[in-house]
Amino acid sequence: MIEAKLEVDKNKNINSFDYPAKDGTGAGKKIEVLNGMYGPYIKYGGYNYRIPKGGKDATDMTLEDCAAIVDKKNNPSEKTEKADKKPAKKTEKKAAVKKTTTKKSKK
């Protein structure tokens, strides 16, 4: 049982890259391509990013491919942003009608 868990943990990491910081200082974070329960995914900065189906195989992913997925998810295009919607009209609640009951007298 323990050997099986160790084998799964060993096969979890597919690839890892050092991702440089945006300001060019080189003090970036690590991008990891991992094999998870529901398929391969990218882990970067404490967040997980899904690898799109129909794209590259997870074992063939490069730093540029991973960075493109992370940047796309962090900076969505204008098409994917939700349109400004007007708030729904609020309807007035009607007062609940109380039922009146009469007590039955004991005979």
The mean predicted confidence, pLDDT, of the chain is 77
Q: Which residue type occupies 28?
A: G
The structure tokens listed for 42 are 């990218």
Domain ranges in the chain are 2-74
Lowest-pLDDT range of 11-20, 40-49, 54-63, 82-91: 82-91
Q: What is the pLDDT of residue 25?
A: 54
Count of CA atoms in the C-beta half-sphere (13 A) of 105: 1
Q: What is the pLDDT of residue 52?
A: 85
Q: What is the pLDDT of residue 68?
A: 87
